[in-house]
Amino acid sequence: MRKTKIICTLGPASDSEEKIREILLAGANIFRLNMSHAKHEWVRDVVKRVRGVAAELDINCGILLDTQGPAIRTGDLPVKLNLKPGQIFEFTVRGSRSEEEHSVDVNYDGLVNDIHVGDTVLVDNGVIHMKVLAKDANRVRCEVLTEGLLGSKRHINLPGVKVNLPPLTEKDHADIALGVSLDVDFVALSFCREAADILELKRVLLEHGSRARTVAKIEDQNAVRFIKDIIVASDAVMIARGDLGVECKMEELPIIQRRIIKKCLEIGRPVIVATHMLESMIENPIPTRAEITDVANAVFEQADAVMLSGETATGKYPVECVKVLDRVARRIALSGGAGYASSAILETQRQKTVHAAVTLANSLENAKLILFTREGRMADEASHLRPERAPIFAFTPSEEVMRRLTLNWNTHAICLPFGVNPEHNVVDAEQELHRRGLIVSGDKLIILSDVMFAEERFDSIQIRTVL
């Protein structure tokens, strides 16, 4: 069974019932809704479609709502501007007009206050570089450093500049309310800069009565600076290498990725590696060998999930992309992992009990970890310890918890009603695994369960051999 999970972005190339079915059968675990482009009516329709197909196929599938976040973007242009090095370009705010031949309005009024003379401005995912020469109350005057064609609503990056945007915009609040009404399983916070940002998202979700898990997207230097606090505050972390690769030196990006994965496995948070995984497959039916190696590195470092963006949203080969990730993830997992989980911090008695069960499973051939969880926390702890061979089967009476566990590495969640007697739950779980063909005679079941003694319950570790 594949350990690394696959997240696919839905879009025009993949949002039909037929494509959703094909992508799920190819191995997708979670569908991402990119709210930078998605309309609310489309979101309502596609969530219903995903849930219907997943139920029909009996596949556990999560849904991740990805907020647009406080992005700084250029305004509309009547025609694209062909910029050349040495030209003067002005960014204006508050509807101010520029006398320069090349200028554009910006959606963030605080740009002038946050930026300084000498700072670098990167436009359109870092394609166009500019240097700040001067500024006044409503304008920032720049020199163009690299050639590029500038269109409307292009993203602006300000490496090393601390911007004073709120963590959630009005649009984000409206999108989150929609996601909560549709019971999405994960909500990602774009451009998370510090722990307070993710805590604000948690507060908003709590106000709406949602138990969706929060995902902090790491996209700029400020987030890297406060990465430990962000990981502690969040439920999961996404290494969003698109903007992060623009904000940071390119040679630093692999080191940052490795640092974040290590810290997530130490603290115990799911981690997603995203962006440009199979970028060439947007147009081509096979990936480059460099892309295969990139995916393999993320799998070897034991990230919980890898994510496809444009590859499945607008690309020509969405199903083939998922199949490629599935093949690579399965093969690389057989060669072992980086072993970062050996540094996992164990503080509670429950964490140490789970560690003992994982150690036992590592010592046995054909072992399976079976656990019972109402909230998903025990499943989180087992996954974070990265069992060497044993898959984790997490039984829960909650469909919501089952879907939230779709992100966890090597975890296969199954919804099962719990009875009063723990032994009956174990028997029911074993029968369900038999029915699904997930265990065979001779398998060793390492069971994490509570047991009754007198009128009290205690955590226990049991070993059973499948007959």
Query: The tokens of 252 are what?
Result: 């630093």
Of these residues, 49, 139, 217, 263, which one is catalytic? Answer: 217
Residue 181 has pLDDT above 80, yes or no: yes
The pLDDT value recorded for residue 373 is 92
Of these residues, 67, 275, 312, 411, which one is catalytic? Answer: 275
Residue 211 has pLDDT above 80, yes or no: yes
Of these residues, 51, 73, 323, 330, which one is catalytic? Answer: 73
The pLDDT value recorded for residue 137 is 87
3 is catalytic: no
Domains in the chain, CATH or no CATH each: 5-69+167-333 (3.20.20.60), 81-157 (2.40.33.10), 346-465 (3.40.1380.20)
Contact 351, 379 (CB under 8 A): no
275 is catalytic: yes
331 is catalytic: no
435 is catalytic: no
Query: What rounded mean pLDDT belongs to the chain?
Result: 95
For 436-465, the pLDDT digits (tens) are 999 999 999 999 986 655 566 678 899 999
What's the mean pLDDT in 246-259?
A: 94
For 340-397, the pLDDT digits (tens) are 999 999 999 989 999 999 999 999 999 999 999 999 999 999 999 999 999 999 999 9
206: closest CA among 233, 176, 182?
A: 176
Torsion (CA) 21, 25, 31, 37 in degrees, nearest 10? -50
Report H helices in 59-160.
Answer: 111-114
